[in-house]
Chains A and B, each alone.
Chain A
């Protein structure tokens, strides 16, 4: 069972102010309606993980780590590796977060991020088989939200994508049906870089990358993941409001164009790390520029 969270009185009062501003194409934090907040991506800071990324999207901050293990494949997919994505909102992430098993929001977050990566076929799972039907790579992407200020979907997705792009996994040799781990590490087989773009509907306005305050006032939310060819790979509508067909058409066009900008940012952020292991570069360019 699940129950919708209620908005506080303060949020309802803010809604009036927000609507007045939105009518003038402005937002509380000064952004344009279609602007992302500043995006920072730092990769490779967790040496114990096969890949990692710390992403800040405005005040929203998440950390993703990739752990790769050898596991048995699913019986119906003997030649495919496994990809498992998990997300949690840590109790330190917000005054409203509480410890405990993931609630429906955290489950939705993990499943939507997973869907964008899986459906875009970012990782060639069929190249992750080691011994057909017996041993495959299992790629675990675990994301923890450190500071929750809205749009956890995009921040989480960017973190997982950046961490996967920079992950190095141990190479295995097959000798007489047994796996021998070598010292060498290899990157994951990557096909495309999917980018998730989340928009919120407040009144009649569609805004990109909502803050927590904007999310408290939104009627509905939509997350769209697109791939490098500009194809739509995954969609999730959320919230108790609705969208018209015209809005949904506009949203898809926006998701592709904004996605292309963000993709360049992600690629720039991971480029130095994949050539050498020095990750001290600063990436503080605004993605809107």
Chain B
């Protein structure tokens, strides 16, 4: 067996094949933003802010029938082993694009014509799977901003490591493993809004990997809901209490 997977099927960080890394999601962490969130996904630490819907500048970019969504995925220079140049890399530009395309189907942009919604994803510390954690946190921040949504977007990767299909690839498994497949899923609409793959899989492994990633997305979805409910249900209870007084 390889170094990444023990004979008993235990992974390099002690997880089993179908286990997620520890996840923590917080809602409303930045006061200036219309919506915000913070996520820890394994060693990933990511903060997301949503501004909007707001007026579009320059004005000619505005759409008459719906809002436009802009996403920026950005890594801080100290978020990785070797200092990253703060200018947007080609990788970050691609991830910004696929993040926007993963979130867009969940948003009812038609409700906000002639406006823009900005999503800023800042990776403070990166582990494997930061694009998925970023999408997960961005979806929570969009809900926190009160944007009309059809569904949340939950994201999680699966892949092939040491010959086995496993859930939620970490940094080491991403670099040394055979395949990495990030997936974003709309749990209620049962639709896949992000699918990428790096690495070789047979047709059967591909289907197995996709299903496992979607299982992971469902787990992430429950954590997103809990985080949102923690903020909004507690606020509601307090308000309810004060009205009775």
Among the 9-residue stretches B127-135, B194-202, B229-237, the one with 4 or more Cβ atoms under 8 Å from chain A is B194-202
**Known contacts A237-B196, A242-B186, A248-B192, A108 near B94 by CB under 8 Å:** yes
Name the distance in Å between A285's Cβ and chain B's nearest Cβ: 28
Contact B191 A244 (CB under 8 A): yes
| Closest chain A residue to B99, Cβ basis | A2
Name the distance in Å between A169's Cβ and chain B's nearest Cβ: 26
Asked whether any CB of chain A lies closer than 8 Å to the CB of B31, the reply is: no
Asked whether any CB of chain B lies closer than 8 Å to the CB of A232, the reply is: yes
Q: Number of residues in A with C-beta < 8 Å to the partner?
A: 39
**Known contacts A2-B100, A119-B199, A232-B197, A244 near B190 by CB under 8 Å:** yes
| Closest chain B residue to A236, Cβ basis | B196
Q: Please give the residue numbers on chain B whose beta carbons come within 8 Å of chain A beta carbons, in ascending order.
A: 61, 63, 68-72, 90-91, 93-94, 96-98, 100-101, 104-105, 118, 181, 186, 189-203, 206-207, 210-211, 214
Contact of A237 among B61, B68, B192, B200 (CB under 8 A): B192
Provide the residues of chain B in CB contact with A243, threshold 8 Å.
191-192, 195
Among the 9-residue stretches A33-41, A175-183, A249-257, A267-275, the one with 4 or more Cβ atoms under 8 Å from chain B is A249-257
Provide the residues of chain A in CB contact with B181, threshold 8 Å.
235
Name the distance in Å between A171's Cβ and chain B's nearest Cβ: 30
**Known contacts A231-B201, A245-B214, A238 near B101 by CB under 8 Å:** yes
Asked whether any CB of chain B lies closer than 8 Å to the CB of A241, the reply is: yes
Contact B101 A232 (CB under 8 A): no
Contact A234 B211 (CB under 8 A): no
Contact A230 B202 (CB under 8 A): yes
State which residues 207-221 of A face B: CB under 8 Å: none
Provide the residues of chain B in CB contact with A252, threshold 8 Å.
203, 206-207
Contact A237 B97 (CB under 8 A): no
Asked whether any CB of chain B lies closer than 8 Å to the CB of A239, the reply is: yes
State which residues 81-113 of A face B: CB under 8 Å: 104-105, 107-108, 110-111
| Closest chain B residue to A239, Cβ basis | B101
Name the distance in Å between B53's Cβ and chain A's nearest Cβ: 15
Task: Tell me, in angstroms, the Cα distance from A242 to B150 when the chains sit together.
Answer: 13
Which 8 pairs, one residue from A and one from B, show the smallest C-beta to C-beta distance? A242-B191, A235-B197, A240-B104, A237-B195, A231-B200, A104-B97, A242-B193, A232-B206
A-B contact pairs, 22 of them (CB 8 A): A1-B70, A1-B96, A2-B71, A4-B69, A6-B63, A104-B93, A104-B94, A104-B96, A111-B90, A229-B202, A231-B201, A235-B196, A236-B195, A237-B98, A237-B101, A237-B193, A237-B194, A238-B101, A240-B104, A242-B191, A245-B214, A248-B210
Interface-central residue, A1, A229, A233, by most chain B CB under 10 Å: A1
Task: Tell me, in angstroms, the Cα distance from A249 to B206 when the chains sit together.
Answer: 9
Name the distance in Å between B73's Cβ and chain A's nearest Cβ: 10
Contact A119 B198 (CB under 8 A): yes
Provide the residues of chain B in CB contact with A232, threshold 8 Å.
197, 200-203, 206
State which residues 177-235 of A face B: CB under 8 Å: 222, 227, 229-235
Task: Tell me, in angstroms, the Cα distance from A120 to B100 when the chains sit together.
Answer: 27
Asked whether any CB of chain B lies closer than 8 Å to the CB of A134, the reply is: no
